[in-house]
Amino acid sequence: MQSLLGTKQQQVSTRAAARCAAVYDRPAGRLGFSLAKCRLLGSALQSRAARLRPLQSALQEISADVVIIGGGPAAHAAAVYLGRAELEPILFEGWMANGIAPGGQLTTTTYVENFPGFPEPILGGDLCDRFRQQSLTYGTKIYTETVTKLDLLGGSPFKMWTDSKAITANAVIIATGAAAKRLKIPGTDEETGFWNKGISACAVCDGSSPLFRNQPVGVIGGGDSAMEEAGFLARYASKVYVIHRFDYLEASKVMQKRARANPKIEIVWHHEVLEAYGKEDDDCLGGVVLRDNQTGKVRKLPLSGLFFAIGHAPATKFLGGQLELDEYGYIVTAPDSTATSIKGVFAAGDVQDRKWRQAITAAGSGCMAALEVERYLAEKENPGSRSFDDGGEVAPGANWGSSGTAAAGPSGQQVAVAS
């Protein structure tokens, strides 16, 4: 009976994964629709797994030197480094974790133009697909499952669980990212609205698009992030409206001063967005309906772009308070390090980066985490030894796959590593 249930679950998961993979093959205009279907499918599968779980007598037990939790650039950068160091990492990329497809926030954007190595714009989903393939090439085992529970306080080996597996690992890298906060405003969603068709949550990512050049755009928010986004957008847009529900700003004085001094930026005080509407001649954003919170008056504001700038929510709730977090919920790491408050647990990417939140900085911190894991595991195996000297160079004889050494390639051949 158990075998039959396991087979049926596997068949359903395989079909669902194939359908969700279509996200990466959709044209930009259909990306949001595909993600919506994946969300619905993810909910259905989770419900099915919940029904079948009581009938299973045991979870599959697996172990590894290092487990990576996450599926974005930080997770895959760490996986590539650790794979080339022959540590055979296991990566749990999640199944619609936080409502986002495997790959993280990049899967919710269209064209990426600021990631090195791509002279032509590349779809966010396609870039994530390449990350994933590179991780697989160098020996990472990837599971499209969500880690729902961890036991970190007991120390190494650490324990964690998904719906079907019980995992132990000597080291853990948490790279679960952070999702941009959005308001539930009609016309702003992926299914029927204008998300990725003029509506975004990252001005730095999307603000230079031809869609917004010399066009009026709006920013929702009143904090430092909103002021920074407005300043960036003012380089390209004809006008930037900062739409704020209060008659004061929460931003720092210096950020307020910069915004108010910019002739392209206009603050729309004590207003809220009621809905977004489209253009008559295409399916892109045409503007928003505003309501004055003091008078109740409703009016339309034509816009070609609308950007949410009300903060981000790091994916840290599943940690259950076991790691030190800052006041905003981000994992606290040591200065110039990815080490967390528990030895052997490391954090990389947006889950510990409240400031930059870019794909390239996430990838860089993933590299850092991988190198620190290598050092940690070597010291754990040989107490008293040091993997790196004070200058940060690799110790003689250490096979790190980092500066100045050789590492295993995809077929076991030795390949040079850039300094």
Q: What is the structure's pLDDT at 139?
A: 97
The SS3 of residue 27 is coil
Q: What is the structure's pLDDT at 16?
A: 40
Cα–Cα distance, 243 to 265 (Å, whole number): 11
Which tens digits make up the pLDDT trace of 220-267?
Answer: 999 988 998 999 999 999 999 999 999 999 998 999 999 999 999 999
> Helical H runs in 53-159?
73-84, 124-137
Q: Given CA atoms 211, 364, 86, 148 in this order, what sign does their dihedral have?
A: negative
Q: Return the beta strands (E) in 125-190 as ranges.
A: 141-143, 149-151, 158-161, 165-174, 178-180
Catalytic position from the list 163, 206, 350, 353: 206
* Top-level class of domain 199-310: alpha beta
What pTM was estimated for this model as a whole?
A: 0.66
Tokens of 232: 């960036």
* Top-level class of domain 59-179+316-381: alpha beta
For every one of its 419 residues, what pLDDT tens digit does the chain have, with 9 covering 90 and above? 334 334 434 443 443 444 344 333 333 333 333 444 444 445 444 544 544 444 345 899 999 999 999 999 999 999 999 999 999 999 999 876 666 667 777 876 777 888 999 999 998 889 999 999 999 999 999 999 999 999 999 999 999 999 999 999 999 999 999 888 889 999 999 888 999 899 998 888 888 889 999 999 999 999 988 998 999 999 999 999 999 999 999 998 999 999 999 999 999 999 999 999 999 888 899 999 999 999 999 999 999 999 999 988 899 999 999 999 999 999 999 999 999 999 999 999 999 998 888 899 999 999 999 999 999 999 998 887 665 444 444 333 333 333 333 444 554 444 434 43
Q: Which amino acid is at 21?
A: A
Q: How many CA atoms lie within 13 A of 343 on its CB side?
A: 8
| 205: annotated active-site residue | yes
Cα–Cα distance, 209 to 207 (Å, whole number): 6
Q: What is the structure's pLDDT at 403?
A: 37
| 282: annotated active-site residue | no
